[in-house]
Structure 1
Amino acid sequence: MKPPIDSLWRASSAERVDAPPLSGDVDVDLAVIGGGFTGCSAALEAARRGASVALLEAQEPGQGGSGCNVGLVNAGLWLKPDEIAATLGPQTGRALIDRLGQAPDRVFDIIAREGIACEATRNGTLHCAHSAKGMEDLQDRFRQGNAAGAPLQLLDASEARERTGSSAVHGALFDPRAGTVQPLAYCHGLARAAITAGARLHGQSPVTALRQTANGWELACRGHTVRAGALLLATNAYHEAIPGLAAPAFTAVHYGQFATAPMPDTLRDRILPGGEGCWDTALVMSSFRTDAAGRLVIGGMGNLSGPGGGIHTAWARRKLHQLFPQAADLPFEHGWSGRIAMTSDHVPKILLLGDSGLACFGYSGRGIGPGTVFGAAAAEALLSGDRSGLPLSVTQSHGETLPRLREGWYELGATMIHAASARI
C-alpha cells in the first residue's frame, strides 16, 4: 500500500508568507539560519526590539519539522519533572520546568497579538493511557507535575472516554495550560509578523559558507554576502552541511501523520468534542486530534517516504479503527511525515558558536512551545550580550553516540511494532 505524501497543514494553511530569495549583499545585527518555529520566533523578537535581521531558509519557512508538526502546544518537555531535575540539577531543572510551563501562554499571546490565523484552540491536551500500565505512568506524572506547580488533572477511564470518544483509553492526564494550533499556519504567521516588524526573510536561500570575523559573521548565500554582528543557527532536525560550521549532534526520528476526510456532524459531537489534542503512553507513541474542519489526524513514529511507508499507512488505518471504530471507514485524504531532533537525554541544547553565535536544537518532539521560547530568548541574548535570560545555560559542545545507527534502530522498531500491533 503506497502512502499518500500530501500535508494537510500545507493544504489548509490560512497564513501565507512571501520570503523571496536573497538577491544582494546585506549588513544586519542578527543573521538567523532556519525558518521554523525557533528561527521565526527569533526574527520576530529581534525585529520588535528594533534590530536589523536577515533570516535565511534553504527551502521555505515552515518547510521542515515545524510544518510537519502534530500541532500540540504543550507545557514543558516530554520528560517527567524529576527526570529533568536529575539531568540538569534541581535549581536549573526547576527553572526550565517553570519557563516551559509558561510556553503555551507565550504562544497564544503571540497568536492573539499578531492576529495569526492558525486554528488556535486552547482547550488543553490529554495524555492518554493506552493500557493499565500506562495509567500507572500517568499517575506518576500527575504526582510529579503537581508537585512542580502544574495544574494537572487525572481523569479515570470513564472521564477519559467521555472526553475522547474512544473506549480504547484507560484514563488520561489533562493539562489545561496547553492547546492545539495548525502548526504550519502558526509558523507562517510568525514569519509574516517578523516581516511586518522589519525583518528580512529569504526562502530558497541556503547558506553555503560561513566564517567568523572581527566584527561578527560573514555568510555566503546565493553568491551574496550577509554580514551580521550575531548568528543564530535554528535548523534543528533539518540541518544542511555548511562549510565552516560543525553540524549539531542529534538523532533524527521520523513521525508520520494521516488526516481523514471531515467527519459528519454526528461524529464530531462524539469524538473529541472539546477539541483537545491527544497522545498516548505507548513505547512507540501515537497521537490523535481534530482540525477546524473536523478531520481526524492520527500520527505515529515512522517515515512514510521510506521502505516502511506502506506498513505505517496500514497501521494508521488499524489504529483509527481501534480508537474510533465509528469513524473507521473515513478515507485518509492526507499523509505526511517529518523529522524530530532527538537528544539522548531528551533535553534541548543551546550551543555557543564562536563569540557571538548560538545554536538551539533538540526539542525531542516538543517543538512549538520550546521553539518559540528558545528562539525569542536567543535573539535577546545575542543582541544584548546577556545570556542570563536563556532557558538553559550554553554549552561549548554536544555529542551523540552513533546517531545514524540509532536513527535506523528507531525506524526499524517503529516499523516492526506497527506491522504487529493494533490488528483488527
Structure 2
Amino acid sequence: MKITKTSFTNYWQSEAGPFPAYAAALPRQARCLVIGGGYTGLSSALHLAPRQQGIVVIEAQQLGEGASGRNGGQVIPGLKLGPQALRERFGERRAEPLIRAAYGAADRVFELIREHAIDCSARQNGWLLATHSPAALATQAQRAAERREVGADMHLLDAVEVRRLIGSAAYVGGVFDPRGGMLQPLRYLHGLAGAAQALGVSIHEKVRALSLSRSGGRWTVVTSAGEIQAEQVLIATNAYSDNLLPGLRQTHVPLWSLQAATEPLPAALLERILPGDLPVSDSFRVLRYFRRSDDGRLLLGTRGAFTDRVGAGDAQRVAREMLSIFPALAGTALSHCWSGRIAVPASQIPMLHRPQPGLTVALGYYGRGVAMATLMGSFVADLIDGLPEQESIYPVTPYRPLPGAALHRTVARVTANALRLRDIIERRLLDTTP
C-alpha cells in the first residue's frame, strides 16, 4: 500500500469540518462542574440539564481531541464481562438491572441521536465480531449463548456468511449483534454538546482544571481561566487523566489505539471490501476493528505504540493489517493515520466512584466508550441529582488507585508485544493448515 502521501491527522476531524464556538467567559459559580468534555462529561450534562440549572463543562483541549473524537465510531452493546461474571461480582440483585442496562447501551445512543436530531451518519445496522480460528469461534459461541439468555439476540455465523459480509476469507465465522451500529464519533460528540447547550449547559474549551479543594460544603476548582466554585464536581477525563485528584492516573492502565484510513475506494473495490457495510471487530488477542466511511474509505484500527505520536512506521503497520484481511487493497494509498488512548481498568468494566461528598469520578471503558460512556452519563446524572449510591443501577465502587501503577504500565507494554507475537505465529499456522 502507498503511504508516502499519508497525512498524520485524524480522519474524523478532516471529515467533520469546523464546529461552532462554545461559551467564552468561565462563570465563577456552578451547581455542577464537569471536568472533561468527552462522551461521559457531555452525556452527564445532557441527562442532568432537564433537572438542574448551573451546569458547566470544561475541556482542557478542544472537544474531540481525546478519545471521543478519535475512536472507530463503533457502537457496541454490553460490557467486556459477561452476565455470569457480573452476577458473581455484584450478586444477583445488583447485577440483573446492570446487565439489562448495559445491553441496552447501544439503543440509548441511537435514541439520543433521534431525540436531538444529531447529524452524525448514525446507522444501527448491527455489529460483527469476526473469529479467526475454530477455537475462537467456539469461545464466542458460548459467550453469545450466555448473552442470549438475557435477551441479546446474537446470531452465530459460519465462514460463508462472514465472507459474504466482509469480503474476506480471513475468518472462519463470527457473531452478529443487531443492536450495534456505527456513527461519525466526532460529529456525535458535538451533537451531544449542542443538545446540552440548548438545555442551558455552559461549555468551555481550552480550560484546564489545575487543582480542586473542598471547604464549607463546596468545591473550589482552580483552572487556567480562573477559579470556579461548585456544589458538585464530576471528573470525566478517562485515559487523558492527570493527577488532579490524587491517584487518578493510577486508577487505570492507558493503552493506545492506532488507526488509518485509505483514500476513497473505487466502485469496483467497494463491491468487494465490506459489502455488508458493517462495523467489524475480530477475535485476535491484539484485535483489529474496521468499517467503511460514508465517502467509501476503509478505516482500520489496532493496538498502537504507547505514544500519541504517529509516523511512517505506524502507517506501515496498519497497512500490513489491512492487506492481511483485504489483499485487493494492494496499491491503495492511505490518507490519514492517527492514534488515541484507551483506559483499561483493573476491574475490566467502567469505574464509577464517589471518593468524597459532592465528587464523582467516571472512566475506564476498555474500548467500548461510545455506548457505555453515553450510558454512564445517565447513571452519573442520577447520582448528582441525589439518588442514593445503593440505588444506582451502575455499582458505585471504592476509589482505589492501582498499587504499583507504573509497573502495570510496563507489564502492559510487554504483554501487548507478547500477544502480538502470538497472533503472528497463530496466523502463520492457520495459513499453513490444510
| Pairing 1:10–2:17 present | no
> How far has the Cα of 1:24 moved from its partner?
4.4
Q: Aligned partners of 1:377, 1:95: CA distance in 2, in Å?
A: 12
Aligned to 1:384, the other structure's residue is in SS state: coil
Given that 1:303 and 1:309 are in contact with CA atoms closer than 8 Å, whether structure 2 keeps it comes out as: no
* Offset from partner CA, 1:214-250 (integer Å, 9 cap, x none): 23211111352212111111011111232x6541510
Query: In the alignment, which of 300, 303, 308 is matched to residue 302 of structure 2?
Result: 300
> How far has the Cα of 1:178 moved from its partner?
0.7
Query: In the alignment, which of 55, 58, 61 is matched to residue 60 of structure 2?
Result: 58
1:141-220 correspondence runs (5 A): 141-220=143-222
Query: In the alignment, which of 15, 19, 22 is matched to residue 19 of structure 1?
Result: 22
Q: Aligned partners of 1:86, 1:386: CA distance in 2, in Å?
A: 23
Given that 2:254 and 2:342 are in contact with CA atoms closer than 8 Å, whether structure 1 keeps it comes out as: yes
Given that 2:219 and 2:229 are in contact with CA atoms closer than 8 Å, whether structure 1 keeps it comes out as: yes
The equivalent of 1:79 in structure 2 is: 81
Q: Aligned partners of 1:45, 1:306: CA distance in 2, in Å?
A: 31
Q: Aligned partners of 1:256, 1:88: CA distance in 2, in Å?
A: 34
Given that 2:8 and 2:311 are in contact with CA atoms closer than 8 Å, whether structure 1 keeps it comes out as: no
> How far has the Cα of 1:148 moved from its partner?
2.0
Aligned to 1:48, the other structure's residue is in SS state: coil
The equivalent of 1:92 in structure 2 is: 94
Which deviates the most, 322-331 or 123-132?
Answer: 322-331
Q: Aligned partners of 1:410, 1:117: CA distance in 2, in Å?
A: 37
Query: In the alignment, which of 36, 40, 46 is matched to residue 38 of structure 2?
Result: 36
Q: Aligned partners of 1:200, 1:334: CA distance in 2, in Å?
A: 33
Q: Aligned partners of 1:401, 1:172: CA distance in 2, in Å?
A: 38
> How far has the Cα of 1:65 moved from its partner?
1.1
Stretches of structure 1 lacking an aligned partner (at least 5 in a row): none
Q: Aligned partners of 1:401, 1:268: CA distance in 2, in Å?
A: 49
* Aligned amino acid, residue 11 of structure 1: S
Query: In the alignment, which of 259, 262, 272 is matched to residue 261 of structure 2?
Result: 259
TM-score, normalization by structure 1: 0.92
> How far has the Cα of 1:410 moved from its partner?
3.0
Query: In the alignment, which of 290, 293, 296 is matched to residue 291 of structure 1?
Result: 293
The equivalent of 1:247 in structure 2 is: 248
* Offset from partner CA, 1:299-356 (integer Å, 9 cap, x none): 1111374799655433321211111112232211111111111012311111113111
* Aligned amino acid, residue 329 of structure 1: G
Q: Aligned partners of 1:342, 1:393: CA distance in 2, in Å?
A: 18
| Pairing 1:69–2:71 present | yes
- Structure 1 residues 164 and 15: CA distance shift in structure 2, 3 A: farther
- Structure 1 residues 408 and 310: CA distance shift in structure 2, 3 A: farther
* Aligned amino acid, residue 299 of structure 1: G
> How far has the Cα of 1:50 moved from its partner?
4.0
> How far has the Cα of 1:45 moved from its partner?
1.6
The equivalent of 1:342 in structure 2 is: 344
* Aligned amino acid, residue 16 of structure 2: S
> How far has the Cα of 1:181 moved from its partner?
0.9
* Aligned amino acid, residue 151 of structure 2: G
Stretches of structure 2 lacking an aligned partner (at least 5 in a row): none
Given that 1:37 and 1:62 are in contact with CA atoms closer than 8 Å, whether structure 2 keeps it comes out as: no
- Structure 1 residues 308 and 140: CA distance shift in structure 2, 3 A: farther
> How far has the Cα of 1:43 moved from its partner?
1.4
> How far has the Cα of 1:396 moved from its partner?
2.8
| Pairing 1:140–2:142 present | yes
- Structure 1 residues 84 and 226: CA distance shift in structure 2, 3 A: same
* Offset from partner CA, 1:49-102 (integer Å, 9 cap, x none): 342211011111221111111111111012233333333333333322210111
Given that 1:124 and 1:277 are in contact with CA atoms closer than 8 Å, whether structure 2 keeps it comes out as: yes
Which deviates the most, 148-157 or 371-380?
Answer: 371-380
Which deviates the most, 404-413 or 213-222?
Answer: 404-413
> How far has the Cα of 1:252 moved from its partner?
0.5
TM-score, normalization by structure 2: 0.90
Q: Structure 1 vs Structure 2: percent identity of aligned residues?
A: 31
Aligned to 1:397, the other structure's residue is in SS state: coil
The equivalent of 1:404 in structure 2 is: 406
Q: Aligned partners of 1:15, 1:103: CA distance in 2, in Å?
A: 29
Given that 1:123 and 1:274 are in contact with CA atoms closer than 8 Å, whether structure 2 keeps it comes out as: no
The equivalent of 2:271 in structure 1 is: 269
Aligned to 2:320, the other structure's residue is in SS state: helix
- Structure 1 residues 216 and 39: CA distance shift in structure 2, 3 A: same
Q: Aligned partners of 2:341, 2:324: CA distance in 1, in Å?
A: 26
| Pairing 1:232–2:234 present | yes
- Structure 1 residues 294 and 329: CA distance shift in structure 2, 3 A: same
Given that 1:16 and 1:192 are in contact with CA atoms closer than 8 Å, whether structure 2 keeps it comes out as: no
